[in-house]
Structures are given as structure tokens and as C-alpha cells.
Structure 1
Amino acid sequence: MELNGKTIIITGASSGIGAATAKKLASKGANVVLTARREERLKELKAEIEKDGGKALVVSADVTKKEDFENIIKKTKAEFESIDGLVNNAGLMPLSYVKNLHTDEWNTMVDVNIKGVLNGVAAVLPTMKEQKSGHIVNISSSAGNKIYPGGAVYCATKAAVKMFTEGLRMELAPNFGIKATSIEPGAVETELTETITDEEIKEGFASSLGDISQLQAQDIADAIYYALSQPARANINEVYIMPTEQPQ
């Protein structure tokens, strides 16, 4: 779709892929709704976007709370009237070995990585169904396609996001014209690894990547734009994007 004048909600917009995506889409004329828990960072991003001539709305929110999403929808429609896209980007990656029983982190990943996505979709769907148009982009991971030691729960959450996205496409695209895309990156240089607390994982994770040139947040933003900007007849179902030097 032509993004000029379209309204896109972006979760986890305070840094990394979310912030890069907001800048990219705003530069193409989209109205971007910036949401995350760190409101000050969102305000800084909004100022940066508006300085470059873009339009942005800040709505601080926790994706695990349905009422926060209800507030996002209310403020978005009041400001921009329509909701044309949702980028479910908020996520956590506190990798740990199952034997170490970081159960609180398991539950938090399920709440953010899966339930946060479900909450976002449930919030935008009534508007998109009424419009008979829209595009839902869910950030999964290459980890949703293959498991590795220390990633059992994280990989499971990202596999769930991938499967849920394909289910959305099958149910919504033919009947309502609502597209769905799963974005599945490999190693990206973001804050995501800062949530790891398992000391055994910390020791080996950085070295496992070696000296490869990791993807940048801008690379994923470009992939999201590519999916969103396709004509109505084309739905990019999945984008699997890996660093050139990353073997697996």
C-alpha cells in the first residue's frame, strides 16, 4: 500500500527495531504511533521524527495489559482516525538453560512475546475488519524456525508468533483484506541480549556469534517497509533475514 497518510502502530518503539521502523515509515509519509513503557525515549523519538517533517503520536503502554491497548486505539483514532497497520515488535530474550529454572523469566517471555502480540491483534482487529483493510506485522525470529540450547522457551515463543501470523493470514486476508507478515531475523545488534541473566548463557553467547557482522535495526525496518508497501494483491507472508556471515 501507499504509506503516505496511513497510520501504523509500533510497539516496543523506544529503541532498536521499533525506533528504526518508526523513522523509516514516518520518512515515507506514515503517521506513526509510538508505544512502549519508556515514555521519555518515545518523546525523544517523536521530536526527532517531527524535526524531519514526519507525524508521530506517543502513547506509553505495557503490551501485556489489554486496557493499555484500548487506550492506544482510542488515542490513535482520535488523532488520525484510521488504523492501517500494526507492528508487534515488543519482545524479550532472557535466554537460559531449562535446568536453571528461570521460571519468572519464562512467564515474562510468554506474557510479552506471545500475549503481547495477541493483545495487539485483538485491539486493532475491529477497526481493520470494519475498514476491510490493514496489515499486521509480527516480529518473530530465526529462532522460531530452529531450536538451540538455552533458547527452549524463547524459541517456543517465537515459533508461536510465526504460526499465529500464518493463521491470521489464512483467516483474515481472504475475507477482510487484512494482510499478515512474520518477520524472522537472525542476529541483530540491539538491546535484546541485555535481558539475559543466566550466567552460563552469558559466558558463551557473545563468543558463539564470533566476529560476524550482525544485522542492524535499520535492516529490519527496511524489511518491514518492503512488506507493508506491497500492492493490495500481494501479501508477503514471511521475511527470513539472516546476517550474511551467520551460518545458522
Structure 2
Amino acid sequence: MTLSGKTIAITGAGRGLGAALAIAAADRHMKPVLLGRNERGLLEIAGLIEARSGRRPDCVICDLADLASVASAVAKLAILAPDLDILVNSGSQWTGGAFEAQTDEQIASVINSTVSGTIALTRRLLPLLSTRPAADIHTVVSMSGLPYARMRGSSVPFVAAKAAQNGFVQALTEELIGSPIRVTSIHPGIIEDVLPTDDTWNEERNASDMLSDRNVVEAILYILDQPANVAIRSLVIERARTEFLS
């Protein structure tokens, strides 16, 4: 399946991995729609994409921790991208530190953005995706969602939320088998943030170096670019000298 011309909605697209994926998708002649809660961040990434491609992507404010914001974002997406082919659930709030130091507000934000908001957004976009001959729902879960991975700086709420998100992906995969929608996921380890616009994007890394956004973005695009008869349901990606499994 060629990705050129595909419309792809990406949550968390105002920074980090989501932003890197949006820029790389545009470089592949896809039509990204940027979703996120920070308007300034979205507009900055949209400007970078326009400067590289000459095409300015649409931006939609979507706070995954706020279900009203999710509903509003979907209503706008239905107008801006009725030909939506791919949803990438990349947005998620993160918190680190000891469990007893977490506030109720932090816990709620992490759980709501990673679990409730992601599930609600996906459910609301199913009717759009179902109209396409072939579509994808891809979720960036993180190794923190795997039962055998160590915490490595993540908080208890974040690990719990990612475990729930992983369960959501597995259940949705089963429910949508036989439909034109593929459900896939990726579980990256710790990532160094770098954008395709940075000089460091093309730097070769050694075995001891940590993952960069480039490594994960290329893996996501590889998964999405598979032929219609192929589904890479789940992929764990960690640096060669792993920290999560030791």
C-alpha cells in the first residue's frame, strides 16, 4: 500500500513524536491533520510542514483529557478530513516520580488522556474510517504498557494508563477483524526528541545510543505502508542495549 495521498490524523502532533511523524508524513506526500491541546505548538509544526512542502496542514485543538474537546475535534475532523484513512493515537500526558507524590489532578490527566480520551476519539472516528476501502488505527503504546517491562522513570499512573491502552488495542483488534480497518500498535522505549527539520535527524547512531524519534517514526510508517493483506499487529522497538528488560 502506498502512503502517498493518504489522509492521516495524528494526536499529540504539537511536539515530540507526534510532531516528527506529522512532518515525516508530509515528506511522504501524505495529508496530515494535526491534533493537540497546545495551539501554539500545532501552528509551529504546521508552519514547518508548509515551509518544507508548500502545503499547510489543518490543525484541530483536541485535549484528550477533556471529552467535550474530543467531541468538538471529531466534529471539525468530519468537515476537514472526510476522507480520513489513518488515525495515529500518539497523544498522551506523561508524569514521572513517586506514586505518593502524584496529585489527583495529575493522575486524572494521565488516565483520561491516555485511556478515556483515546478510546472516545477512536470510537467517534470509526464511522469515517469505515467508509474507506482500507484504513488504519495505529496507537503508540510505549513499552511501559507491557507487563514484563520495567518502569525506568515512568510513574505508576502512566504505567497503569499504558497497560489499559494496550488492552484497548488488543480488544479493538479482535472486534474489527474482518473489517476494512487494520489495528496496529508500537511499543517504543525511551526516545530522544528530534524533528526531521533538525540536523541531528540524519545522524547515524551506534549500538549504545538511545532511540530517536526518527527510529520510531520510520517504524510506524513501515507498519502503515504494508500491503492490504498484511497486518503487523504489534511491534516492540527498543535500543539494542536495552534498559527496559534488564
TM-score normalised according to structure 2 size: 0.84
SS where residue 110 of structure 2 aligns? helix
Structure 2 matches for 1:21-60, cutoff 5 A? 21-53=21-53, 54-60=55-61
Residues 73/6 of structure 1: CA separation in 2 closer, same or farther (3 Å cut): farther
Work out the CA distance in 1 between the residues paired with 2:20 and 2:227: 23
SS where residue 42 of structure 2 aligns? helix
Residue 186 of structure 1 contacts residue 242 of structure 1 at CA under 8 Å; is this kept in 2?
A: yes
Q: Tell me which moved more, 62-71 or 14-23.
A: 62-71
For 1:164, which of 165, 168, 186 is the aligned residue? Answer: 168
Work out the CA distance in 2 between the residues paired with 1:101 and 1:215: 28
Corresponding residue number in structure 2 for 1:79: 80
Residue 134 of structure 1 contacts residue 178 of structure 1 at CA under 8 Å; is this kept in 2?
A: yes
Unaligned segments of structure 2, at least 5 residues = 195-207
Residues 151/130 of structure 1: CA separation in 2 closer, same or farther (3 Å cut): same
Q: Tell me which moved more, 228-237 or 37-46.
A: 37-46
Q: Does residue 234 of the first structure (1) align with residue 230 of the second (2)?
A: yes
Q: Does residue 66 of the first structure (1) align with residue 78 of the second (2)?
A: no
Q: Tell me which moved more, 88-97 or 144-153.
A: 144-153
Work out the CA distance in 2 between the residues paired with 1:67 and 1:102: 23
Residue 172 of structure 1 contacts residue 179 of structure 1 at CA under 8 Å; is this kept in 2?
A: yes
Residues 70/93 of structure 1: CA separation in 2 closer, same or farther (3 Å cut): closer
Structure 2 matches for 1:86-105, cutoff 5 A? 86-105=87-106
Tell me how large the CA RMSD over aligned residues is.
Answer: 2.1
Unaligned segments of structure 1, at least 5 residues = 192-211
Q: Tell me which moved more, 96-105 or 156-165.
A: 96-105
Q: Does residue 222 of the first structure (1) align with residue 218 of the second (2)?
A: yes
The one-character-per-residue Cα deviations of 1:6-47 (angstroms, maximum 9, x if unpaired) are 111111101110010001111111110001122122112112
For 1:187, which of 166, 190, 215 is the aligned residue? Answer: 190
Structure 1's consecutive aligned runs of 4 or more residues displaced over 4 angstroms after TM superposition are none
1:147 CA drift (Å) = 4.3
Q: Tell me which moved more, 36-45 or 146-155.
A: 146-155
Work out the CA distance in 1 between the residues paired with 2:80 and 2:104: 40
1:184 CA drift (Å) = 0.6
1:153 CA drift (Å) = 2.1
The size of the alignment, in residue pairs, is 227
Residues 153/79 of structure 1: CA separation in 2 closer, same or farther (3 Å cut): closer
Residue 33 of structure 1 contacts residue 56 of structure 1 at CA under 8 Å; is this kept in 2?
A: yes
- Code of the residue aligned with 2:121 in structure 1: it is G
Residue 186 of structure 1 contacts residue 215 of structure 1 at CA under 8 Å; is this kept in 2?
A: yes
TM-score normalised according to structure 1 size: 0.83
- Code of the residue aligned with 2:103 in structure 1: it is H
Work out the CA distance in 1 between the residues paired with 2:151 and 2:77: 39
1:159 CA drift (Å) = 1.3
SS where residue 211 of structure 2 aligns? coil
1:101 CA drift (Å) = 5.0
Residues 91/190 of structure 1: CA separation in 2 closer, same or farther (3 Å cut): farther
For 2:159, which of 155, 160, 164 is the aligned residue? Answer: 155
Work out the CA distance in 1 between the residues paired with 2:127 and 2:7: 15
Work out the CA distance in 1 between the residues paired with 2:81 and 2:112: 29
Residue 190 of structure 1 contacts residue 217 of structure 1 at CA under 8 Å; is this kept in 2?
A: yes
Residue 134 of structure 2 contacts residue 228 of structure 2 at CA under 8 Å; is this kept in 1?
A: no
Corresponding residue number in structure 1 for 2:120: 119
